Structure 1
Amino acid sequence: MPGMPSLHALAAMILTISMFVAFARGRVATEIVSLVTIALIALGLYFFPLDGQHQTDGLALAFSGFGHPALITICALMVMGRGLVVTGALEPVTRLLASVWKINTQLGMLVSLLLAMVLSTMVNDTPVLVLLLPVFVGLAEKGAMAASKTLIPLNAAVLIGGMATTIGTSTNLLVVSIAADLGMAPMRVFDFTPIVAVAALVALPYLWLVMPRLLPDNGTNFTRNRRTFAATLRVDDDSDLVGQTPRDLQTRLPDGFAFEGSLDRQITANSRLPVSGTHTALEDALRTLKARVAPAWVIERIGAAAKSKGSDVVVVEMALTAESRLVGLTIPSSGVAGQFGVAVLGIHQQQRGPDQGRHEYSELQLRPGDVLLVMGPLAEIEEFAESDRLLLLEGVTEVPRRSKALLAAVIMFGSVATASMGLWPIAVSALAGAILMFVTGCVKFNRVGRALSANVIVLVAASIAIGRVILESGAAAWLGGVMSAGLQHLPPAMILACVMLFVTLLTNFASNAAAATVGTPIAFNIAQTLGLPPEPLVLAVLFGCNLCYATPIAYQTNMLIMDEGRYNFSDYMRTGVPLVALMATTLSLMLVFFYM
């Protein structure tokens, strides 16, 4: 057994434990805890330098995370993930998923889980879940499996896929980067993918067949995006719809979209057909039918204004107040298109009027409480809302720049491919991909703030600083010696399982980044003490950081689904603990098979 730790090592452990407690209690924002941690390291090492170091060395250590390749890589991957979202590059995947659910619920669930696993190997977990979440909620509203029975399994599948590559999550990059700093050979993108693939196949039946049965049916009383808007479908001269009838198009229409009036009238050039549908259904129908719901000149004006200002086109839902000048007017008589440069795509009326369905939406008189579906540049929409006394009801939804969807997908694939083949380090590949996203317009410079998370940036910087302090103060060596003394007589698989479960416990009640920061140096020292290869022990830490299924506070995606599924703490424990045990056992055995 090692003796007492040094004062620096003891202080490093106290600081780390304090950071864990602050994260777990959640009373102070994560970024504040991270900044305070960096400040304490900087001040502590300035006034009480490590042995053989100067005061300025402590400052450099405290702030080293902000210039670390891991942080640069994480930021670049955030930008590329943003590019996939705003260009709609992943929309075909989600539409395919919805069509499979219509065929068979169980088949849809299986395909969804597999898709979530595959997508999250390349794109950060959170964007993948954000992309799939409305699909599952929408399917539940339409009579498929309740969202409360699908969201936790979906989240688990995303987390499992995220641990399969070095770029799957920011935590993976952090572990690999810290291990490389400690002297371990760098890992490539897919080095440990086969191990996770085997574990995923073992866990898949549990996610697919067992976990939904362990979850409550909390119903599907969701109202978001369920307003039905009256709109006018405008058919151009060269449209394929000319000569057909609305009845002929029924099989091509998405759920939630309908033609109003007679279904047997023939569609002619320049037809204006009354239709109705939800926001999402209108978007899907317009894409399928290659038609529009606003005058061509308005759409062209909006596009020109957005291009000249370098801004995005957005769609919002806005409610009329009793003080609005629009009350009693129709959309054409209001002059909003000419005055503000925005397009009103549809109208949702709280009470369906007697004339709705027989006439175009543009002939409907506006009343207090009506909701308008409005498209335009954000600045123009805000001016419209302020001038005409409207309330913004829904968060801003950007209109995807679909012309660049293929380009964004190619850039992401190219970055991952070059890194996986070892042509360039992942930091270089990711940075080059992010630059290409900017240069090609897939992601705009003035919207980069939406791609980057200040919370993640500060957390990673603090984690890197903590990791260096634990290592250089001797805390990692001391903790590694203590754990080695208790593990030295165990078989390799049990050693790996103990390390993995230790990190899993930390990540489920604190932060996975902080758990990675503490666990990686300890695992490296255990390997040196016991004469084991460092790769399996470092991977045990990486996997343990991703086994965050058992509590809602373990990872941000767990919190993201909590309200949608109306879950409580026990739902995560009941379904997550068996999954942790299953994954830890399988991964430990596979690490022994591959490395020992």
Structure 2
Amino acid sequence: MPPDQLFVCALTLTVMGLFIWEKLPMEIVSLGALLLLMIVPFDGHPILMPENKTEQITILGSIFGNNAVLVVSFMFIVGAAVERTGLVEDLGHWFERLAGRGERRILLSLGVLTIVSSAFLNNTTVVVVFIPMLIGLCKRINLPPSRYLIPLSFFAICGGMCTIIGTSTNLVVNGIVRQRGLEPFAIFDIAPLGIVFSIATITFLLFFGRKLLPDRPSLAALINVDDSREFLTAALVSADSPLLGKTIGETPLAKMRDSHIIEMRRSGNRITTPLKQVRFEAGDRIIFKSHLSGVVDINALKGIEMASKAEMGLSYVQTEQALLMEGMLGRQSKLVGHSLTEQNLRQQYGVIILAVHRQGVNLRENFEDEKLEIGDTLLLEGSAERMRQLFEERDLINLTQPKAQTYRRSRAWIAMLALLMVIVLGCFGNFIPFEWVAMSAALLVTATGCLKTDEAYRSIDWNVITMILGTLALGIAMDTTGAATTIVHGMMSVIGDWDPRLILSALLLLSIILTEVLSNTAVAALVTPLAFGLAGDLGCNWEPFIIAVMAGASIGFAIPAGYQTHMLVFGPGGYRFSDFCRAGIPLDLIMWVLGSICIPLFWPL
């Protein structure tokens, strides 16, 4: 194997190893690989920067100008407009009306609505909207959310397999197909296989899988408190108070057992200095948290007699109820990558973090210095107004109750028109480039005010875009150096005598296994060149092999890290790693068997 092929193979394996290790962000790893391919020379020139300028432009254009990058970006904008105008919220309300109280009826309603919506919208958006509604429904009918949140994620994955625009994986593979000068798939070309997978998933969960799902309480249920038992009380330090000039530790306030100070304000501004270091001044506003028993106002705080309160110079201002709520970190949360100590939420918002749920573990001690991750669930306590401010400013997903938001419902018909335009015109991909259709829809929702310009920029998941760029570069490097051909020839020397249907089944299984440990987008970009090589060496139709990659790169049910929607439901459901394995491994195997049978039937070899 020549040095350039060895380098590409070694770099690909390194990237895959770093993806599995998860210590570095995937987008950084992907862009690092792209950079190495552009600067490490072989025979005087880097792999992606050949001597011929025309070849350079062609290669770089096939990465940065790949239609998959454009379509994914534009579809993020269209999906955000559909959500911002309230259409996704309406879908959630339809689910609440259809679900009823029976377990199987809830699963069936959830499956149908989630699959249909995820076929055309970003599945992360659909899952984020459905999580609080599903949790609220479970609380009202006294059922554990853990019975339904894993199915929610599974259904969202199945919906993405029903259309080309259902997931970025399909768009990446379709982009590679177009780059090779072949006829790309139209929007519903893969629907037959997606529908089979969807029906199988619903059937499995209705009759078998639900027995494998855990009955596990949410994080809030593990904390033995009632949100009506505690109050927040505000008091002012008077001009003649004996507290003046002293710290909390130097006053009787430090001896209160059932009440403690959570916030101080001075001249209307929140004091950000650690409370233990603050010296009281006249006019300081103090926020206490106290148990409800015997507390109506500041004069009833436990541990302080009436006389001593007067001596301390505290005058009553107001009392408000403390709420217990759960919030989850989404992909755009400002808290991701920071610790609670760094963010100092107690000082900034007057909100107390009681516990954190991560990766199946409920952390109730020594979690303040842990770096927060996407999918972490926080158990918070504070006043309604402070909670609202925190959820809005820090992009937390409210799991206790659906986020109150003012939708632009007067423009909902425009967003629906844009989505229908994508669906209808996408059926004519042979005549109208799909990136043009997606761009037109994105321009329509932005120009008409369904989405503001800054909202449009924020709606694009740049982590996904950078990962697509990096993994596309690796796939193109495998092609241009001949590494993909060398690997395929090596594989054919072992499996060349097999029946093509068995080879197709092995390719599907390989894609499924890789998807469980890598990003689905990375699998699509890296395995697609191998699929083309296998089809060419076998002399078979390329379509079933590419469909196998699409399907395999979307099937990732068994490991939480295998799909972003899994991470979103992990914390709210109180799940453990093994919960996904119990329900996901059988479903992975069912999808593999069905795919091995159906793909050659729908797309003959």
Please give the TM-score of this superposition, normalised by the length of structure 2.
0.70
Rounded Cα–Cα distance in structure 1 between residues aligned with 2:199 and 2:291: 49
Report deviation, 1:223: 7.6
Change (3 A) 1:485 1:145: farther
| 1:393 alignment counterpart | 390
| 2:464 alignment counterpart | 456
Report deviation, 1:415: 1.7
Deviates more, 1:485-494 or 1:550-559: 485-494
**Contact conserved, 1:118 with 1:161, CA < 8 A, in 2?**
yes
Matching of residue 94 in structure 1 with residue 92 in structure 2: yes
| 1:311 alignment counterpart | none
Report deviation, 1:431: 0.6
Size of the alignment, in residue pairs? 463
Report deviation, 1:116: 1.0
Rounded Cα–Cα distance in structure 2 between residues aligned with 1:156 and 1:88: 24
Letter in 1 for 2:494: G
Which digits, 9 at most, give the CA deviation of each residue in 1:158-192, with x for residues without a partner? 10110111111111100111122234321101011
| 1:416 alignment counterpart | 423
2:51 alignment partner, one of 41, 49, 54: 54
| 2:171 alignment counterpart | 173
1:184 alignment partner, one of 182, 185, 193: 182
| 1:7 alignment counterpart | 3
| 2:519 alignment counterpart | 511
**Contact conserved, 1:77 with 1:434, CA < 8 A, in 2?**
yes
**Contact conserved, 1:349 with 1:369, CA < 8 A, in 2?**
no
| 1:430 alignment counterpart | 438
- 3-state secondary structure, aligned to 2:559: coil
2:540 alignment partner, one of 516, 529, 532: 532
**Contact conserved, 1:190 with 1:420, CA < 8 A, in 2?**
yes
Matching of residue 149 in structure 1 with residue 101 in structure 2: no
Which digits, 9 at most, give the CA deviation of each residue in 1:81-131, with x for residues without a partner? 111111111222211211223343321211111111111111121111111
User: 1:565-580 alignment to 2 at 5 Å?
Assistant: 565-580=573-588
2:499 alignment partner, one of 467, 470, 491: 491
- 3-state secondary structure, aligned to 1:393: helix
User: 1:21-420 alignment to 2 at 5 Å?
Assistant: 21-45=17-41, 47-50=44-47, 53-54=50-51, 57=55, 61=59, 64-222=62-220, 321-323=263-265, 351=292, 366-367=318-319, 391=386, 392-396=389-393, 398-420=405-427
**Contact conserved, 1:189 with 1:419, CA < 8 A, in 2?**
yes
Change (3 A) 1:372 1:539: closer
Rounded Cα–Cα distance in structure 2 between residues aligned with 1:372 and 1:583: 41
Query: Which sections of structure 2, spanning at least 5 residues, go unmatched?
Result: 229-260, 270-288, 298-315, 326-346, 352-384, 394-402
Letter in 1 for 2:183: A
Query: Which sections of structure 1, spanning at least 5 residues, go unmatched?
Result: 230-318, 328-347, 356-363, 374-384
**Contact conserved, 2:122 with 2:167, CA < 8 A, in 1?**
yes
**Contact conserved, 1:322 with 1:368, CA < 8 A, in 2?**
no
| 1:360 alignment counterpart | none
Rounded Cα–Cα distance in structure 1 between residues aligned with 2:134 and 2:128: 11
Report deviation, 1:446: 2.0
Rounded Cα–Cα distance in structure 2 between residues aligned with 1:473 and 1:562: 41
Rounded Cα–Cα distance in structure 1 between residues aligned with 2:205 and 2:2: 46
**Contact conserved, 1:467 with 1:517, CA < 8 A, in 2?**
yes
- 3-state secondary structure, aligned to 2:562: coil
Rounded Cα–Cα distance in structure 2 between residues aligned with 1:494 and 1:485: 15
Change (3 A) 1:55 1:71: same
- 3-state secondary structure, aligned to 2:40: helix
Report deviation, 1:585: 1.0
Letter in 1 for 2:28: I
Change (3 A) 1:27 1:113: same
Rounded Cα–Cα distance in structure 2 between residues aligned with 1:386 and 1:131: 27
- 3-state secondary structure, aligned to 1:450: helix
**Contact conserved, 1:65 with 1:465, CA < 8 A, in 2?**
yes
Rounded Cα–Cα distance in structure 2 between residues aligned with 1:95 and 1:555: 26
Letter in 2 for 1:323: R
- 3-state secondary structure, aligned to 1:204: helix
Which digits, 9 at most, give the CA deviation of each residue in 1:540-596, with x for residues without a partner? 011010011111111111111111112222222221111111011111211111222
Report deviation, 1:518: 1.5
**Contact conserved, 2:38 with 2:46, CA < 8 A, in 1?**
no
Which digits, 9 at most, give the CA deviation of each residue in 1:432-481, with x for residues without a partner? 00000111101100222320112011111112111111111101111122
Change (3 A) 1:473 1:388: closer
| 2:368 alignment counterpart | none
Rounded Cα–Cα distance in structure 2 between residues aligned with 1:351 and 1:441: 47
Matching of residue 474 in structure 1 with residue 472 in structure 2: no
- 3-state secondary structure, aligned to 1:367: strand
Change (3 A) 1:446 1:484: same
Report deviation, 1:485: 2.9
Rounded Cα–Cα distance in structure 2 between residues aligned with 1:66 and 1:426: 17
Change (3 A) 1:533 1:197: same
**Contact conserved, 1:350 with 1:370, CA < 8 A, in 2?**
no
Letter in 1 for 2:469: A
Report deviation, 1:136: 1.4
Letter in 2 for 1:395: E
Change (3 A) 1:365 1:205: farther
Which digits, 9 at most, give the CA deviation of each residue in 1:125-169, with x for residues without a partner? 111111111111222222353211211111111101101111111
**Contact conserved, 1:321 with 1:369, CA < 8 A, in 2?**
no
**Contact conserved, 2:472 with 2:526, CA < 8 A, in 1?**
no
Deviates more, 1:45-54 or 1:213-222: 45-54
**Contact conserved, 1:141 with 1:221, CA < 8 A, in 2?**
no
Report deviation, 1:425: 1.9
- 3-state secondary structure, aligned to 1:164: coil
- 3-state secondary structure, aligned to 2:475: helix
Change (3 A) 1:372 1:213: closer
RMSD: 3.3
Change (3 A) 1:563 1:80: same
Rounded Cα–Cα distance in structure 1 between residues aligned with 2:28 and 2:320: 43
Rounded Cα–Cα distance in structure 2 between residues aligned with 1:466 and 1:388: 48
Report deviation, 1:534: 0.2
Which digits, 9 at most, give the CA deviation of each residue in 1:24-66, with x for residues without a partner? 1110112211221111111125854459931765587357523
Letter in 2 for 1:565: G
Rounded Cα–Cα distance in structure 1 between residues aligned with 2:125 and 2:48: 44
Please give the TM-score of this superposition, normalised by the length of structure 1.
0.71
| 2:252 alignment counterpart | none
2:452 alignment partner, one of 440, 444, 449: 444
Report deviation, 1:526: 0.4
